Amino acid sequence: MTTGLSIRWFAPNAHSRSIIPALTARGVRAIESDTEAADLAIAMGDAVAEDAWRWSTFTSRPLILYLWDLPPWSIGKGHFNRVLALGSRLVTVPRIGRRSDGRRAHFSRVRWIARHAAEVWVPGRQSAAVVERLFHVECREVGYGIDATWFTPDPRAQRDVGSVVCVAPLLPHGNLSALIRTAARSAPKLELRLIGDGPERPGLELLAADLGVVCRFEPTADPDVRRRAFRTAGAVICPSRHEGFGGAALEALACGASVVVSDTPSHREILGGAAHYFGLDDDVALATALRAALASPSRGPSVPERYTLERAAERFTAGFLRVTGA
C-alpha cells in the first residue's frame, strides 16, 4: 500500500519515533524538519503540542494531537486558564480569583490545542476516559506498538532468578518505594535494577540503603540495554499507579520475561492474562505476585499482534487518510 502522504512529525523522544520505519514501509513519509511540505502534522505528546500547532497554523494544514496520558498529578493544580491565540503564540490568561501553577498553565494551552485539533488520539480506553473528562474533547483510540522484531527472547541468555528489573521514569506515581520495601522483606532479599531516571532517585537510593537492598540505578533507557535486561531478569515489574500505554511491559513479554504489573485498567486492557497482577497499596499482594513470577519458567514471546509497530502503522495510516480525506 502506497499512500503518498507526508506527515510533519513532532516527537519528544525516540519512543514516539519508533513507528516511523513501519509507516515508511506503508508509503507514509515522516518529516521532522520544516524544509519540506507535508499534508498534516502530528504532535506525539503534550511536550510538542505547541510547536505542532504553530506549524499547522502557519501552513493551514490539519493537526492530530496524540496524548499518551494525563494522570492528575502531572497536569498541575488549580483551574485551567483561558487561552488566547495571538498570531503564532498562545497566551494564557489566569481567571480572576482562581489560582493555578505553571504545569496547569501549560496544560491549559494543550487543552486549547486539543479542542482545535482535527482529531485527538490516545493509546487506549483509560487514556481516552481521562482526556475526555479533563479536556472535554472526543478522543479516538489509536493504539501504539512495540518493535517485536527487536524485543525477542534469546535462548542463550541466562536468567537470574534473584533479580527484578524495572524500566520506568523515577517519578512519584511510579510506586517504586513499594518495590524496594517488598525486596527488603524477601528471603533472600531480591536484587533490583531500576532503569530510568527522575527526581525520585535520591529518595529511592536512601530507602534502598536504609533497608539493605541491593539496587542498581541506570539512568539510560537505551533499547539495547532494555532488551538485555528483559532477557536475563528473573522478573520484570511495572508498578506504576497510572499507565497510558504500558510499553515496557509489552517489550518484556516480547523478550519472554515473567512480568508483574499493577492492577490498573490500562494494564488489564493491554496485557490481559499475560502478566501477574497486584493491587496498589498492597505490599503483600506485590510480594505474592513477585514470587509467582520468579517461580514461573521462561516463556516465549506473548505480545498480541495488535501491539506490534506494523499493526500500529496500519491504524495510524488509516487515521491519516481519514483526516486528509485522501
CA distance 130 to 132: 6
What pLDDT is recorded for position 326? 73
Residue 313: band (very low, low, confident or very high) from pLDDT cuts 50, 70, 90: very high
Cell match 511491559: residue? 249
- Percentage of residues of the chain with pLDDT beyond 70: 93
- What is the distance between the alpha carbons of residues 25 and 3, in angstroms, rounded to a whole number? 10
| Interval 61-82 mean pLDDT | 81
Which residues contact residue 294 at a Cβ distance below 8 angstroms, ignoring those fewer than 6 apart? 161, 162, 164, 234, 235, 258
Residue 100: pLDDT over 80: no
- If one compares 155 and 304, the residue with the highest pLDDT of the two is 155
56: pLDDT strictly greater than 60: yes
C-beta of residue 70 within 8 angstroms of C-beta of residue 91: no
Decide: 147 and 174 in contact? Cβ < 8 Å: no
Average pLDDT over residues 123-137: 91
- Per-residue pLDDT, averaged over 110-123, amounts to 96
Q: What percent of the chain stands above pLDDT 90?
A: 66
pLDDT digits (tens, 9 = 90+) for 197-222: 999 999 999 999 999 999 999 987 78
For residue range 153-200, list pLDDT tens digits in order: 998 988 888 899 999 889 888 999 999 999 999 888 889 999 999 999
Q: How far apart are CA 32 and CA 10, in angstroms?
A: 7
Give the span between the Cα atoms of 28 and 318, in whole angstroms: 11
Give residue 300's pLDDT.
67
Mean pLDDT of 136-152: 94
Beta bridge partners of 246: none
Distance of CA 28 to the CA centre of its chain: 23
- In this structure, the strands spanning 40-43 and 119-122 are unpaired
How far apart are the C-alpha atoms of 207 and 116, rounded to whole Å?
45
The set of cell numbers assigned to 85 is: 491565540
8-17: pLDDT as tens digits:
999 999 899 9
Q: Rounded mean pLDDT of 255-279?
A: 91
What span, in angstroms and rounded, lies between the C-alpha atoms of 147 and 136?
33
Strands 140-141 and 82-86: unpaired
- In one-letter notation, the amino acid at residue 219 is P
Question: Is 64:323 a contact under the CB 8 Å cutoff?
Answer: yes
**Lowest-pLDDT choice from 134-138, 215-219, 298-302:** 298-302
Q: Which residues pair with 195 in a beta bridge?
A: 167, 218
All cell numbers assigned to 89: 503564540
Q: Is the pTM of this model over 0.85?
A: yes
Task: Summarize the confidence of residues 297-306 as an average pLDDT.
Answer: 74
What's the whole-number mean pLDDT along residues 305-310?
91
Question: Distance (Å, rounded) from C-alpha 263 to C-alpha 259?
Answer: 12
pLDDT score, position 298: 66
Question: What pLDDT, on a 0 to 100 scale, did the predictor assign at position 78?
Answer: 63
Q: How many CB atoms lie within 10 A of CB 175?
A: 20
Q: Beta strands of the chain (E only): which ranges?
A: 6-10, 29-31, 40-43, 63-66, 82-86, 89-93, 119-122, 140-141, 160-167, 191-195, 215-218, 233-238, 259-262, 276-278
Tell whether the model's pLDDT for residue 97 goes beyond 60: no
For residue 143, name the pLDDT band (cuts at 50, 70, 90).
very high
* Rg of the chain (C-alpha set): 21
Residue 152 reports pLDDT greater than 80: yes
pLDDT of 77 reads 63
Contact 249, 269 (CB under 8 A): no
Average per-residue pLDDT in the chain?
90
Question: What is d(CA 222, CA 227) in angstroms, rounded to the nearest whole number?
Answer: 9
- Mean pLDDT (whole number) for 125-147: 93
DSSP β-ladder status, 89-93 and 82-86: antiparallel
Q: Is the pLDDT of residue 299 over 70?
A: no
Amino acid identity of residue 250, one-letter, is L
